[in-house]
């Protein structure tokens, strides 16, 4: 589309729904939303507010320029992250949040090799039941940051007895290369009051604490154990420092 052909109402509609979050001198994050998103949650229709974001090294506040650049960028080749918000997220005193790492096999196919699909649906339900919260769906976190194809190779090694950590290390990756900075920038834009984090992973707690975000506490999320993911879950506790359900969180 020619930039000059963009109608003024298109520009003003988008202007109201796009925020620019500066993260460095020239770079930043475009945050689009809120967009009404009714979701089928275990048979019940629940309305979330949905936001999507895009990190860029060079950002502008000029909507025409943003649109002009997007149409020439092949965004479908990359995944973008997004967040589902429930309730009065900005103002309510107590909000539950989940930083969910994308898992193609678990979230989409319902794979029983991990507990991701269960955790995704469960945390959405917990947020809805709590009344206020947000689920961040982090698209560059596949396989703890190694990507889907590498995760498939790691699964090949796991079928021969390597655990999750050993498999990643043998493929030349660090065990966990996930980064939460962009998600935390978005979180801080949507809410400045303290949050309660749904996680078993102390690294996620640390990332939030380091960012200056106030944490009220942590809500654990275990379940859906089966013969297929028993080793995976055991490795999370013994090798990756995840906290078992009965252990109390030092931040609680
Ligand atoms: Zn998974």
pLDDT at position 144 is: 87
The rounded Å distance from CA 246 to ligand 1 centre is 22
Q: Mention every residue, 6+ apart, whose C-beta is less than 8 A from residue 2.
A: none
The rounded Å distance from CA 115 to ligand 1 centre is 6
Give the residue ranges of the chain where pLDDT is below 50: 1-3, 246-252
pLDDT at position 103 is: 96
What is the Cα–Cα distance from 232 to 3, expressed in whole angstroms?
51
Cβ atoms 119, 141 nearer than 8 A: no
The rounded Å distance from CA 232 to ligand 1 centre is 10
The rounded Å distance from CA 172 to ligand 1 centre is 20
The rounded Å distance from CA 142 to ligand 1 centre is 8
Q: What is the pTM of this model?
A: 0.87
Q: Which of 163, 191, 207, 19 is nearest to 92 (CA)?
A: 191
pLDDT at position 70 is: 83
Return the active site residues: 176, 178
DSSP conformation letters of 94-154: --EEEEEEP-IIIIIT--SSSSHHHHHHHHHHHHHHHSSEEEEEETT-HHHHT-HHHHHHH
pLDDT at position 247 is: 38
The rounded Å distance from CA 249 to ligand 1 centre is 23
């Amino acid at each position: 589309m020619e930039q000059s052909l963009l109608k003024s109402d298109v520009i003003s509609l988008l202007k109201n729904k796009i925020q620019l979050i500066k993260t460095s001198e020239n770079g930043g994050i475009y945050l689009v939303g809120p967009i009404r998103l009714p979701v089928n949650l275990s048979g019940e229709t629940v309305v979330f507010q949905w936001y999507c974001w895009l990190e860029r090294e060079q950002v502008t506040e000029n909507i025409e320029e943003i649109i002009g650049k997007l149409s020439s960028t092949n965004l479908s080749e990359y995944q973008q992250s997004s967040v589902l918000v429930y309730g009065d997220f900005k103002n309510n005193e107590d909000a539950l949040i989940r930083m969910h790492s994308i898992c193609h096999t678990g979230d989409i196919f319902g794979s029983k090799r991990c507990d991701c699909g269960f955790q995704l649906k469960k945390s959405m339900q917990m947020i809805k039941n709590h009344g206020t919260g947000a689920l961040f769906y982090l698209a560059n976190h596949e396989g703890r940051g190694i990507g889907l194809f590498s995760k498939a190779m790691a699964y090949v090694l796991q079928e021969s007895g390597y655990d999750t950590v050993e498999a990643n290390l043998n493929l030349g990756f660090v065990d966990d290369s996930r980064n939460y900075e962009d998600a935390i920038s978005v979180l801080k834009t949507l809410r400045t009051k303290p949050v309660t984090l749904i996680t078993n992973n102390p690294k996620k707690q640390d990332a939030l604490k380091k960012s200056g975000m106030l944490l009220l506490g942590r809500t654990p999320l275990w379940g859906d154990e089966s013969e297929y993911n028993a080793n995976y879950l055991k490795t999370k506790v013994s090798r990756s420092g995840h906290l078992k359900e009965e252990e109390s969180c030092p931040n609680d």
